[in-house]
Amino acid sequence: MHLLLLLVALAVVDAATSPIKINGWYACSARTFATPAPATVAPSASFKTTAFSAAEPDVLATLLRPFDASSIADFAVASYGTYLVERLMQLENPSIKGYILDGIVANSGSKDNKLTVFNDWDKEVDEAAQTFIDLCKTDTYCSSKFPGSDLRTALTKLYAALDNNPKGSACAKLLESSSSSPPSATLRALFSDLLQDQTLRSMIPALVYRFTRCSSDDVTAITNFAIQIDIDDSTPRPSDSYRSTMLYKLIVTSELWRTPTESYDTLKKTFMNTLIGSNVAGMVTTYCIASGGKDPNCAQERAPSNDYKWQYPRDIYYDVPITIPKGTSVLLLSGLLDPQTAARGARNQYDSFIGTAKRLVEFNYAAHGTIVNTPVTTKGGAPCAAQLVASFVTVDGDVTALDTSCLATVAPMSFAIKPSLAKSYLATDDIYDGVPTEKFTAASTLAPGTSAVDGAVTTSDTVASGYKTAAIIGYVLVAGLLVVLLVLVLRKRKKRAQAHSTLYVEPTPA
């Protein structure tokens, strides 16, 4: 039996399947196991269980129950789930013959600043943003919208104009918040959210263009865009039930946060120095509560009332380079325009793996999740990264025999937006200069229990997760006109995606 087990932290498949319960968690679709496991099966003694920290052995033992020495499985994982499967490699389970990592969190190298830590989230978002902005400058279509200038200059001037006179234009008023954060903070976060979306990221130059000009038609177009984004976010999806924010924060505060932590003010300053960022500063509060608040930079934070920690201890395998298990191989996939898991994380992890059965494939224009964000020009062709995964399984993990022919057909970078998509978001088929043919109607108002804190709209289950997502839209009526308050928040489609841990298995030919 040869299985491809995908632990996709991106929840890239919203399959309408009934989830099954594992250790109290609805984390797996009904297709997860090709052959149902017995009701009670003890974990195999053939692999080490001490390689995992306190939060992980039970979950991994449960996942591995269906596999015995006669089974062959390939593990594929995306986003922060790559960190968990890197740890899984230390178990050396004989049933697993291949590992596929997509959007990679590096598991070691803290002394050389190569370990992925989420304190650096805004820096890494900005790295991807700088590359994106450079591509606009060399793209004929995008650069033509900024004659005599460029997107970087236009964006910098826009931020300055908004912050210097936050009530000076109708567009500036769209970015008002009840906190002391400047309008540019809201716009940085909105652009960070869009940068994560391979379809909508090309809206960024157009929004800069319209915010700068700020005609009455631009105000309508921007308002329409915000309303449609909110409608998108408010639409329930089957994958919503897979999300565990608590588990995500537990892992981040225990293993993926640099200590001693920077202060809130330091990380906020880092965010404000970016061209595009998510503002990870709020995570300092979460870390200080989870860790007990003893860190010097927790002194300014609210003291936790608990005398225990919401963390598990780091074990002896933490921050230790991984030896690729004997008889296995690893395929690493990375997008150079991925603002969530930077390309250098993939390169650092590739370099730190001990062994030669490894291969790193990078995609110049892919956002987060190359398995779905590497379209090809071949009609009807599957995303290139998906083809590489299929090839990896077909050649039994022989990274030297991988069929990489699809790399020559990966679609080039494009800043164009299809007229139909532009129409659905702006009510005009021209994202830059079109006149909206209608004004969209707000589908909802600010949700009960939602509050504005430091320029971010937050709810109880999204506080301190702003680096994962951005932008919910609040609506207020002013002089009979709909004004959209584009405040940083912890909801958008990436909230449904990044925090998810969807598990499923697809049978492959023996």
Give the per-residue pLDDT at 62. 57
Total domains, the chain = 1
As a residue count, the chain comes to 510
Q: Is the peptide bond before 304 cis (omega within 30 degrees of 0)?
A: no
What domain range is 347 assigned to?
A: 2-117+315-406+497-508
The C-alpha atoms of residue 295 and residue 442 are separated, in whole angstroms, by 44
What is the SS3 assignment for 367? coil
The C-alpha atoms of residue 18 and residue 238 are separated, in whole angstroms, by 9
pTM across the whole model:
0.77
Which range has the worst mean pLDDT, 181-190, 415-424, 484-493? 484-493
- Confidence category of residue 234, pLDDT binned at 50, 70, 90: confident
Is residue 219 assigned to a domain? Answer: no
- Residue 436 has phi, psi (to 5 degrees) of -60, 135
- Confidence category of residue 129, pLDDT binned at 50, 70, 90: very high
Most confident among 84-93, 113-122, 481-490 (mean pLDDT): 113-122
Is residue 481 assigned to a domain? Answer: no
280-307, pLDDT tens digit by residue? 999 999 999 999 988 999 998 887 777 7
Residue 499 in contact with residue 3, Cβ under 8 Å? no
Q: Is the pLDDT reported for residue 70 higher than 60?
A: no
The C-alpha atoms of residue 90 and residue 44 are separated, in whole angstroms, by 15
Tokens of 347: 């390169």
Is residue 292 assigned to a domain? Answer: no
Task: Read off the CATH number of the domain in which 60 is found.
Answer: 3.40.50
Q: Is the pLDDT reported for residue 360 higher than 90?
A: yes
Average pLDDT over residues 302-327: 88
Q: Is the pLDDT reported for residue 1 higher than 60?
A: no
The C-alpha atoms of residue 195 and residue 69 are separated, in whole angstroms, by 43
The C-alpha atoms of residue 267 and residue 280 are separated, in whole angstroms, by 7
Is residue 122 assigned to a domain? Answer: no
423-446, pLDDT tens digit by residue? 999 999 999 999 999 999 875 433
Per DSSP, helices labelled H in 418-464 are 419-426
More confident residue, 73 or 116: 116
The C-alpha atoms of residue 452 and residue 450 are separated, in whole angstroms, by 7
Give the per-residue pLDDT at 327. 92
- Confidence category of residue 173, pLDDT binned at 50, 70, 90: confident
- Confidence category of residue 74, pLDDT binned at 50, 70, 90: low
Question: Is residue 92 left, alpha or beta, with left meaning phi > 0 and alpha meaning psi from -120 to 50?
Answer: left
- Confidence category of residue 93, pLDDT binned at 50, 70, 90: confident
Give the per-residue pLDDT at 120. 96
Largest Cα span, the chain: 71
Is residue 360 assigned to a domain? Answer: yes
The C-alpha atoms of residue 92 and residue 79 are separated, in whole angstroms, by 22
3-class secondary structure for 112-173?
HCCCCCHHHHHHHHHHHHHHHHHHHHHCHHHHCCCCCCCHHHHHHHHHHHHHHCCCCCHHHH
Taking 3-state DSSP, the helix, strand and coil percentages for the chain, each rounded to the nearest 5, stand at 35, 15, 50
Which range has the worst mean pLDDT, 93-102, 246-255, 371-380, 486-495? 486-495
Is residue 74 assigned to a domain? Answer: yes
Average pLDDT over residues 368-392: 94
What is the SS3 assignment for 389? helix
Is residue 48 assigned to a domain? Answer: yes
Average pLDDT over residues 347-374: 95
More confident residue, 471 or 26: 26
State the chain's mean pLDDT as an integer: 77
Exposure letters 127-158 (e unless 16+ CB within 10 A, then b): bbbebbbebbeebeebbebbeeebbbebbeeb
Q: How far is CA 419 from CA 99, 374, 432, in A?
A: 40, 22, 11
Is residue 220 assigned to a domain? Answer: no
